[in-house]
A and B are shown apart, each in its own frame.
Chain A
Amino acid sequence: MTTPTKTSKLIRGATGDWEIVIGMEIHAQVTSQSKLFSGASTEFGGDPNAHVSLVDAAMPGMLPVINEECVRQAIRTGLGLKAQINLRSTFDRKNYFYPDLPQGYQISQFKHPIVGEGVVIVDVSPTEQIKVGIERLHLEQDAGKSLHDQSPTDSFVDLNRSGVALMEIVSRPDMHSAEEARAYVTKLRTILRYLGTCDGNMEQGSLRADVNVSVRRPGGPLGTRCEIKNVNSIRFIGQAIEVEARRQIGILEDGGTIDQETRLFDPSRGETRSMRSKEEAHDYRYFPDPDLLPLEFEASLVEELKVSLPELPDEKKARFMRDFGLPAYDAGVLVMERETADVFEQHIALAQGTVEPKAIANWLINEIFGRLNESKLSLAQSPVTPEGNVTILRAIATNEISSKMAKDILEIAWTTGRAPAEIIATDGFKQVTDTGAIEAAVDAIIAANPDKVAQAQAKPALLGWFVGQVMKQTGGKANPQAVNDVLKQKLGI
């Protein structure tokens, strides 16, 4: 590490400050119709052993054949991670016995992965950005699943997942807080979803993380790490890191040492516990898989995939800031999901320049996203259409309605499903911009409150009280800007 970790991220122990060092191995299921080396379907949720080919079940004499779409997906992902694409890589066998591993080995890439070094830019907060280095990305087979709850005496094996393609994305130990780790996984997931190379669905296991955690004195040598296996939600990743760091600090501060081991996070008890120690670690006896030739492709394939890549979140964010004048935070929120960014741009297109992009961004972020979250709806399920939103925003822009009215209109539209244009036209949401009516109201209030007038003239900040009174009197329909102007003029401030 070249830059020291911010003091705010250090953990205060009994004997001083500690720094957490985090690296991650993310297993991302490749979005593909069929498995990495067989034609069986990758569909989630079939009956046990419904998607199993002879190859997946490791029948005698069966041979793997690489699925080229999985290779293309890995290359796309590598490009999305700004990583080096290796035109020649090899598959190795990782040997170990387990009932859900029918071949007795997993086909993986050990020595020569398909993707080399890259980088992910992570927004930790609106004001803080970090770079997380990618060490490598390789392709490998997923294992099946052992079912221990089907019979009191036997375990069963479901091979539906056996042979499904995974990308293992290995980061450098560039993260120093649970927050950074969460932000990294979030960003990585965003990139994968943009690329369409992994659906990022953590509940279904499409994205799983092995989290390596160690602690050290700030700037000191690296501590011994523990690997927390198979954490399957972003929230749990954060929790696991925090409890694991606390555990390690506790041991070290009591004069103990950390054993390098593999641990499991138990969310219900909020603790990590030992799975196996380094001494019990497998000797995987990696060697090149003799059933497969080295994976080789031309640079032209990489180029072809590069030009067909969608705009990625970082580029999109930069464009939103540049072309629409959005602040970094707004742009960051909007590009988090490709769908959100698309909807934002749909609004821009519908508004045809009649509404400021910033106003659209504010409206979506502050009004729409919150409501969607509350009602657990997706953007596509929003009761108010982009046309409806633009109608409301355009009415604000032309002073036809006030911001306050806009919110009321949205509420009605949201709950009743009525079109905003119709609500504005029939429900009396017309803002009073007629200066004559406003002047009359102002005059009346000034006449009734001579003491306040004197105070306001001495302290112009009290103008707000008058604005409030006028709005009250006009039933909220007066244009606030017009009210302000008239008041200032009448009060002489």
Chain B
Amino acid sequence: MTDLTNMTLAQARDAVRAKSVSSTELTTAFLEAMDKGRGLNAYVAETHDQALAMAKASDARIAKGEIGPLEGLPLGIKDLYATKGVHTQSCSHILNGFKPAYESTVTAQLWRDGAVMLGKLNMDEFAMGSSNETSYYGPVASPWLRQGADKMASRAALAGDKKGLLVPGGSSGGSAAAVAARLCLGATASDTGGSIRQPAAFTGTVGIKPTYGRCSRWGMVAFASSLDQAGPIARTVRDSAIMLRSMAGYDPKDSTSVDRPVPNYEDAIGASVKGKTIGIPREYRIDGMPAEIDALWAKGVQWLRDAGATIVDISLPHTKTALPAYYIVAPAEASSNLARYDGVRYGLRVPGKDIADMYEKTRRAGFGAEVRRRIMIGTYVLSAGYYDAYYVKAQKIRTLIKRDFEQAYADGVDAILTPATPSAAFGIGEKTSADPVEMYLNDVFTVTVNMAGLPGIAVPAGISAEGLPLGLQLIGRPFEEDTLFSLAHVIEQAHGEMKLPEAWWA
């Protein structure tokens, strides 16, 4: 049965269509893999019975010849997507026991297209984190091990404190780990500052954050509304293109979603990139960047040039200000978005002597340290007397960052190539005790894209000296995700499909 889980989503789709495998067989294979891979802690809720029921229904449709774009394909869903009657907590204790009576637009579209839900995936609490270590449900272990790591010891660590194991990145750590470990064919993820692209890069998977407004945010537990965007993590560029087509689309229930047709992104796979102009932003060459990241970037440039693209040096002068500005805008919105978790209507409630006491006790017990830190930062920057100095200034910076990209695109650049992360994955516990800013620096290459509302894709492009995956990022023009798929496919082809780790955890 392991053969089945080794298929890419596109291969599985074709097999289902050819009726060489049923959805039930596929789903069963993944449920078994999940069972064996439980130690990775990628799933926080497994929907075994529902998965089989959905697979059965899918098989019935297939028998009738009703075959949707994702027919019968088992997927994992990040815990911040509302799934009707199923655990939806954004991996926070404050949503203790919350099972919504509604289905998010994005997941509803996946089910509309025939997909099967395997369960809910682990993530940083409210998507705040870059290592999946802020989850109330504990960290996720990456299926990747450093070169030479002892597999037996690693297996033992899974059951313990996970010391010596690697983080899958975050916040979509469960999504990335599950895809890399073949615990699902593909996963939904979300990206506010890099939460799709960084874990994809850390796990040798492909992740795309589409243009802001491309996917509906309705039914996604909000972190920072002006930055949050849904997207897939999958094994290949083609797989992510197939998934995005089903996830994207206008939704009248989300005022910020954009009403324009969704192309069949798969058509972009294999399309020529000849004549495309690729910008290389000099500001992304940061101090102290490891030589292997630099080399990876150079390799990417060469691959695209070989494919017929024109490479130009560009400047995005406000890059340096993006991270600090992001850490004002995102916490500001979060501090307000998370105000609804007050113990009054749903989720956790810790009784108090009066209403204020109940609020304080509930929120103290319900939110983890990182979430509390961001609520405090956000509350501070919006306070009277500080608003102009922080929030207003950060919004001005945001406009300048957007303008940098607009200028580059106006000058004829079709896409921008950068490293996805400043390093390969780090170890669990390695950065949690340090200055939180060190963790925030993980997002240095990705936050600019959210601040500008642009699409960005992370694609595996190499292996570090430690034997860990490294990724490149391509940033596109608004709503030109198809160009990103074409370019990312070139890199994927040049690099060769990422060889995923053996199932040492099983």
Q: Please tell me if A275 contacts chain B, counting CB pairs below 8 Å.
A: no
* CB-contact partner of A97 in B218, B220, B339, under 8 A: B339
Across-interface contacts of B384 in A (CB, < 8 A): 283, 285
B339 pairs with A61, CB closer than 8 A: no
- A95-B336 in contact given A54-B102, A291-B255 (Cβ < 8 Å): yes
Alpha-carbon distance between A290 and B88 when the two chains are bound, in angstroms: 23
Q: Please tell me if A64 contacts chain B, counting CB pairs below 8 Å.
A: yes
B255 pairs with A285, CB closer than 8 A: no
A97 pairs with B252, CB closer than 8 A: no
* CB-contact partner of B336 in A60, A105, A157, A292, under 8 A: A105
Across-interface contacts of B253 in A (CB, < 8 A): 63, 65
Alpha-carbon distance between A105 and B382 when the two chains are bound, in angstroms: 13
* CB-contact partner of A102 in B82, B101, B345, under 8 A: B345
A249-283 interface (Cβ within 8 A of B): 283
Alpha-carbon distance between A103 and B333 when the two chains are bound, in angstroms: 13
B79-130 interface (Cβ within 8 A of A): 80-82, 88, 90, 95, 98, 100-102, 104
Interface residues on A, range: 20 to 34
Which of B53-61, B221-229, B239-247, B459-467 is the contact stretch?
B221-229
A179-218 interface (Cβ within 8 A of B): none
Indicate with 1 or 0, residue by residue over A305-347, a CB within 8 angstroms of chain B CB atoms.
0000000000000000000000000000000000000000000
Q: Which residue of B lies closest to A91 (CB)?
A: B255
Alpha-carbon distance between A57 and B82 when the two chains are bound, in angstroms: 15
Indicate with 1 or 0, residue by residue over A88-111, a CB within 8 angstroms of chain B CB atoms.
000001010101001111000000
Size of the chain B interface, CB-CB below 8 angstroms:
45
- The A-B contact count (CB < 8 A) is 98
* CB-contact partner of A60 in B90, B332, B342, B387, under 8 A: B90
Cβ distance B308 to chain A, nearest Cβ, rounded Å: 39
A60 pairs with B95, CB closer than 8 A: yes
B333-370 interface (Cβ within 8 A of A): 333, 335-336, 338-340, 342, 344-346, 355-356, 359
Q: Which residue of B lies closest to A96 (CB)?
A: B339
Please classify the interface of chain B as helix (H, G, I), strand (E, B), loop, or mixed, using the class held by over half of its residues: loop
Q: Please tell me if A58 contacts chain B, counting CB pairs below 8 Å.
A: yes
B339 pairs with A105, CB closer than 8 A: yes
Alpha-carbon distance between A285 and B333 when the two chains are bound, in angstroms: 11
Alpha-carbon distance between A95 and B383 when the two chains are bound, in angstroms: 10
Q: Please tell me if A62 contacts chain B, counting CB pairs below 8 Å.
A: yes
A57 pairs with B95, CB closer than 8 A: no
- A61-B222 in contact given A283-B383, A287-B382, A287-B391 (Cβ < 8 Å): yes
A58 pairs with B345, CB closer than 8 A: yes
Across-interface contacts of B387 in A (CB, < 8 A): 285-287
B221 pairs with A61, CB closer than 8 A: yes
Alpha-carbon distance between A93 and B225 when the two chains are bound, in angstroms: 13
Cβ distance B399 to chain A, nearest Cβ, rounded Å: 13
Across-interface contacts of A292 in B (CB, < 8 A): 255-256
Q: Please tell me if A293 contacts chain B, counting CB pairs below 8 Å.
A: yes
Q: Which residue of A lies closest to B227 (CB)?
A: A290
Q: Which residue of B lies closest to A99 (CB)?
A: B344
* CB-contact partner of A59 in B80, B332, B338, B346, under 8 A: B346
Q: Please tell me if B217 contacts chain A, counting CB pairs below 8 Å.
A: yes
Cβ distance B357 to chain A, nearest Cβ, rounded Å: 12
B339 pairs with A103, CB closer than 8 A: yes
Across-interface contacts of A405 in B (CB, < 8 A): none
Alpha-carbon distance between A60 and B225 when the two chains are bound, in angstroms: 12
Across-interface contacts of B104 in A (CB, < 8 A): 61
Across-interface contacts of B219 in A (CB, < 8 A): 61-62
Across-interface contacts of B222 in A (CB, < 8 A): 60-61, 291
Given contacts A61-B218, A93-B336, 16 further A-B contacts (CB under 8 A): A59-B102, A61-B220, A63-B218, A63-B254, A95-B382, A97-B342, A97-B356, A283-B384, A285-B383, A285-B387, A286-B382, A290-B256, A290-B333, A291-B222, A291-B225, A292-B256
Residues of A within 8 A of B (CB): 54, 57-66, 93, 95, 97, 99, 102-105, 155, 157, 283, 285-287, 290-293
Q: List 16 A-B contacts (CB under 8 A).
A: A58-B345, A59-B102, A60-B221, A61-B80, A66-B255, A93-B336, A95-B382, A99-B355, A105-B339, A283-B384, A286-B387, A287-B333, A287-B391, A290-B225, A291-B255, A291-B256
The 9 closest A-B pairs by CB, nearest first: A104-B339, A290-B226, A285-B382, A290-B225, A58-B340, A61-B219, A60-B221, A61-B82, A283-B384
